[in-house]
Structure 1
């Protein structure tokens, strides 16, 4: 393995920190868009809402393309709201970068252009925000390149910003003032956060390749708008000079997808009563005949079986009139997909009721590339096909190859046409290998115990026994219980097989413990339905759990007893346990550091932290009692006397997460996210914080204040970073000046 080679090199010389993903596998998050190149075989992309853009490989794996873009100041570039290819050039790909349109994201969006299939990028900065992780992100695609003129690019914006056009291949954009409807749909005008009170804007841009050229450009262009009260699909017949609603169109639903079938001269559209990806209780599928101007309702289901909208839409380029559509959202008993081979006149569902409650399935589904999906999401449940299905594509060069994105993974297969034979089934697999879209909340590495414990949002958590397992997907998530999102994990320093984790759903029991290093779990008898979220700390011997909850203050349990309030600490205090002294816990809130010497029952202020107004994170030395590190808005502080006195450690001026990991010999490295000599980066120190060195290099980790961090308790120079959208990265090397 790579890390074994680096360890050997590190023993004799400086080794650079080269980052790669811990291989959880299977995706782990929402994939709202998948796009095959229409004219170049083997070229396809998948966009994610918080994990950037990926390129498909012929072995069904994916290559991340945007890791080096998401640095601290532009972390929003892991949000992709649209993707487009240039039909005339297989090397060109464009994407709309930006994560939120509300105040959570201070940055405007940008259109990125790559001429080498995503290896390098140039950007056209936009004067407004882009919402790659906003509601409606599965609509689209909002970005499109004219199939006969590569200089012409259209982008449909959110927030009432309307339609934008580039005449220089995406280098610059101008507002198309002639476009009349920037969208009116707002899910919840009363939402004070801005997340559901923003105008959702335009839904898609689709060029009609059957229309005659006009001045070297495609003359007919369709644009969809998020408008449920009036016409929502507009057309230009003069290459974008003027626009008008398409005549006789349906009104009342929001268009999600529009796909052109050139041979039929037909536009297929899916509609829902919400913009998705979570909503949708009604909707329709329509066929628009461009030759006659007629609209035909081809919705594949009716009556009591119709309780959802429609999102994903795929056409078979090899067989005009063959298409697949997906429900949005059918959560129980499963998602639903339909296939038609006669332009929507008739449909075959992928499953139907047999002798209720039995389901007759036209598919088999498995996850050999991500076994944890099989054991934790497929086995023993009816909800197998996924949810939030907006991206749905058939390879234009292979009618059997199809892919669709869900809130968990990318599913697909290579025998899609079996669907047309009543005696056959299709084989669906998780085909997201290489996509690591996990949102990581907490990491730990126990000396002499489990090498890596990962607490994740949406997918509970994962345990890796040793560094040799980092490239092998786990067999299972944390289960029994499996929390919707595990937000914090810790181990007992003197008994590393004892591990504790907490979940984030208030109203459910969210406290679990393990006695085998995090491989099997049980609900703690201390769990109640009030406490959730926050951070957890395990005493050195594993008899006390200290929990700084999200909403009900700091709680404590001893020997599995009921949680009781720790009144001597402020709510949401940062907490940690001494890893060697079972009686000692540490805490911080505001600019005050606290110490407990009675097992977390009571706390008193410790030593002063000069110039500090925010204690952010506390890391206790894994091997030395009383040795504790604190990251603050004024830098990194270090104590070797149980927090009685502190010294400022080196020249990091603003620090976020901090962690310790094995260094050379018996020494321990210290790692910190903060602002230091190289700017906002991940730093490492091998001399007790006297000097700090950039160990991040050219990779982006997103917002440094949102990342989890752990140094290996078992392998010198090995460090882990948990990101909000790109899973866990690992690297190893010698902390020091760059080679």
Structure 2
């Protein structure tokens, strides 16, 4: 059975659900019927996890939601995470952004995910609530009449989804952009707005901005033991509501605006909350910004921690009185220890330098200890000496240094940044997890409480001194989560090079290990890769760079083991101007097309130490090299194919017609086959699909199998002297998938299935030159997927 198109009524009264079977057998065409197994080329993390949620009834049941890479469930025996939303396909790619997750405390097999990546038009689908009755093995979906923002500002707030523990058929959802509070009475199958809820929120980060102009809306829902329901709203003047009659009527909580709405004159909102049921306390962290990006406000304190006594309605400001940096920029996560009433932790958000701070209290917030502290000498000399409560072991994520080294109190590997996800295991006081560039975790947390203060005063020396503490160990708990957004792939045979958003890129000789991060040039995001077809030791790449030290182009002469930076091109600023790059088949000439849309492509014969303008190409042209003829390079722009026969010094239009003139386009050359080119891309409703040329781009034939195609690549032939295997991310017969041809495009087989779709896969695909059948797939948030034929 193929997964049905999701359809639902979008009326104001209720939203119906559609079933989502996830184990359907792939439809195939052609004569090959190879079955595939799918894995990730390991990076360990690489994205952002806005939420980590423990089930309060079943020990070891933990979910982690990501902003663009789906939802994961913890597997206690292997200490790894299992992806749960790989079944989401091309048409619903926005559902890979998870804005909230709720795990049922009454029937732990039930789990819910509020999905939708962007609230803007570039996400084509409405938001939805996914529901599962079997721990996320299979899912149903209820579409909503509004979008949700799993990758928008404020995505670490919440949780916006919550299961009522007094009646677990009832599930609540807080919505953005004036859509209010929603509720389901049937385990998430249908939804309706709670029309009596009076406040949809009004807090906007940057009014009118296309990305940060959203009303943050209704943020979180918490349940008191006496049945009261408390809801946090992004409205500094009216931030907290309560219902004492099972959600029929709602009232503002007295004193909430005064307690939660300002901090040192800055408007603040209640980002997260946690209830200590034994002591009857509701704890709320506030911030002047919903996060996760902004640092401290211009003046004053950026947030607070407030405690509400649920029995009396008394508010108490329990914000830590001491911060090593003097001013708290705002708070991210908060969590309480269910086994030790009165114990809680909170995290700052965007203490960019030198590090974030975790706070811990064992007396309901009356006093706090910090995860690290400074010891200053009598003259307040910089740098002070730093001391920490725990030691970070980055094994498995050594790349977290990002090429830096410790610099006084600013460690290369930090306690974190943008810490919205912070959770103590409700079944084990010693276990905690938090997001900090990776997922950090420990099973020794209570050792903190025996350590005492980190800094003392030496009367004889007249200065502060670090006090001896026995640090406990904190390690990586991210294994299994792969959330990179892969931009390009170079499969060299035994070595895999990848360009990645936010991380630059990686060079891997073992796909089960993260490999080495490319740090010179210091790419903030890698964008394009190429290698010399006759000498694959030569690899080139482009990436976004900051500052003036590095050029956008990097060069390796040893299959990515070491990299050289290139000369910065005059007039091309840093940032997102990487463009595309190609290297001739013999490795002698590099052609780079900057991504600023204004600069004519350039070439270099000295490994990028000097650049010369190329003749005949428009700015922004996509450039590629022939894999067999060193004299031939190619380019494409606005429906026009260009070719060079003098190693990229000059190009001329080939005269071909009928090719896509709009939409993104990919052009790739075939290994070992001079003049053989394949082109994919276009725009729906216009020229869109796949074309091939065997004469260097002068003439093209459309591959009629595909209505749409977006990426194409090549791998080892099935036979010794056969044509390379061809792989594509495309749509045939109405079915989106990863397709393979072993006979030069005459027949195609869909090699993935409905359970393995990974959202949007249109950026890049490549076969392996040494392993027949192996294919590498660039995803937008599920990392670098590779598949092998099952023997």
TM-score (norm 1): 0.92
Deviations, residues 245-289 of structure 1 (Å, cap 9, x unaligned): 111121221111110100000001100000001125210011111
1:576 to 599, 604, 624: 624
Which residue does 2:241 correspond to in 1? Answer: 234
Distance in 2 (alpha carbons) for counterparts of 1:613 and 1:654? 15
Contact in 2 for aligned 1:651/1:676 (Cα 8 Å): yes
Which residue does 1:114 correspond to in 2? Answer: 132
Which residue does 1:278 correspond to in 2? Answer: 293
2:671 to 622, 627, 638: 622
Contact in 1 for aligned 2:66/2:97 (Cα 8 Å): yes
Distance in 1 (alpha carbons) for counterparts of 2:500 and 2:405? 19
Contact in 2 for aligned 1:673/1:680 (Cα 8 Å): yes
- 1:409 has 2:438 as partner: yes
Deviations, residues 157-195 of structure 1 (Å, cap 9, x unaligned): 00110000111111111111111111101111131x2x1
Deviations, residues 64-117 of structure 1 (Å, cap 9, x unaligned): 001012x11100111000110111011111110111101111211111111111
Which residue does 1:373 correspond to in 2? Answer: 400
Which residue does 2:7 correspond to in 1? Answer: none
2:39 to 13, 20, 31: 20
Which residue does 2:499 correspond to in 1? Answer: 455
Contact in 2 for aligned 1:369/1:431 (Cα 8 Å): no
- 1:537 has 2:555 as partner: no
Contact in 2 for aligned 1:681/1:704 (Cα 8 Å): no
- 1:718 has 2:741 as partner: no
Which residue does 2:610 correspond to in 1? Answer: 562
- 1:387 has 2:417 as partner: yes
**Other structure's SS at 2:212 match:** coil
Distance in 2 (alpha carbons) for counterparts of 1:312 and 1:100? 22
Which residue does 1:488 correspond to in 2? Answer: 528
Deviations, residues 528-576 of structure 1 (Å, cap 9, x unaligned): 6536322211111222222222214323222134234335222322221
Contact in 2 for aligned 1:135/1:277 (Cα 8 Å): yes
CA shift for structure 1 position 611: 5.3
CA shift for structure 1 position 690: 1.7
Distance in 2 (alpha carbons) for counterparts of 1:270 and 1:555? 52
- 1:35 has 2:53 as partner: yes
Contact in 1 for aligned 2:274/2:336 (Cα 8 Å): yes
Distance in 1 (alpha carbons) for counterparts of 2:326 and 2:394? 29
Which residue does 1:215 correspond to in 2? Answer: none
Deviations, residues 353-400 of structure 1 (Å, cap 9, x unaligned): 124432111110012233333674776652511111001001111111
Contact in 2 for aligned 1:525/1:561 (Cα 8 Å): yes
1:671 to 698, 723, 727: 727
Distance in 1 (alpha carbons) for counterparts of 2:681 and 2:121? 24
CA shift for structure 1 position 450: 4.5
Which residue does 2:645 correspond to in 1? Answer: 597
Contact in 1 for aligned 2:94/2:124 (Cα 8 Å): no
CA shift for structure 1 position 307: 3.9
Which residue does 2:698 correspond to in 1? Answer: 644
- 1:44 has 2:44 as partner: no
Contact in 1 for aligned 2:524/2:546 (Cα 8 Å): no
- 1:178 has 2:224 as partner: no
Which residue does 1:9 correspond to in 2? Answer: none
2:269 to 251, 254, 257: 254
Provide the aligned C-alpha RMSD in A.
2.1
- 1:221 has 2:250 as partner: no
- With 576-585 and 502-511 compared, the bigger mean Cα shift is at 502-511
Distance in 2 (alpha carbons) for counterparts of 1:393 and 1:527? 47
**Other structure's SS at 2:87 match:** helix
Deviations, residues 628-661 of structure 1 (Å, cap 9, x unaligned): 2111434322222222222223421322111111
Contact in 1 for aligned 2:177/2:217 (Cα 8 Å): yes
- 1:264 has 2:285 as partner: no
Deviations, residues 395-422 of structure 1 (Å, cap 9, x unaligned): 111111100023x211111111111122
Pair 1:297–1:90, CA change in 2 (3 A): same
**Other structure's SS at 1:305 match:** coil
Which residue does 1:149 correspond to in 2? Answer: 167
Distance in 2 (alpha carbons) for counterparts of 1:341 and 1:362? 16
Which residue does 1:435 correspond to in 2? Answer: 481
Which residue does 1:472 correspond to in 2? Answer: 513
- 1:187 has 2:233 as partner: no
Which residue does 2:455 correspond to in 1? Answer: none
**Other structure's SS at 2:304 match:** strand
Unaligned runs of 5+ in 2: 1-30, 263-267, 297-301, 377-382, 452-468, 683-687
- 1:137 has 2:155 as partner: yes
**Other structure's SS at 2:488 match:** strand
CA shift for structure 1 position 244: 1.5
Which residue does 1:289 correspond to in 2? Answer: 309
CA shift for structure 1 position 670: 1.1
Contact in 1 for aligned 2:761/2:779 (Cα 8 Å): no
Distance in 2 (alpha carbons) for counterparts of 1:105 and 1:524? 36
Distance in 1 (alpha carbons) for counterparts of 2:747 and 2:444? 58
CA shift for structure 1 position 238: 1.4
- With 572-581 and 397-406 compared, the bigger mean Cα shift is at 572-581
Pair 1:256–1:526, CA change in 2 (3 A): closer
- 1:349 has 2:370 as partner: yes
Distance in 1 (alpha carbons) for counterparts of 2:729 and 2:404? 34
Contact in 2 for aligned 1:451/1:713 (Cα 8 Å): no
**Other structure's SS at 1:267 match:** strand
Distance in 2 (alpha carbons) for counterparts of 1:22 and 1:569? 36
**Other structure's SS at 2:446 match:** helix
Contact in 1 for aligned 2:70/2:84 (Cα 8 Å): yes
- 1:520 has 2:549 as partner: no
1:317 to 319, 328, 338: 338
**Other structure's SS at 2:231 match:** strand
Which residue does 1:3 correspond to in 2? Answer: none
Distance in 2 (alpha carbons) for counterparts of 1:73 and 1:13? 26
- With 687-696 and 41-50 compared, the bigger mean Cα shift is at 687-696
Number of aligned residue pairs: give it: 704
**Other structure's SS at 2:448 match:** helix
CA shift for structure 1 position 700: 4.5
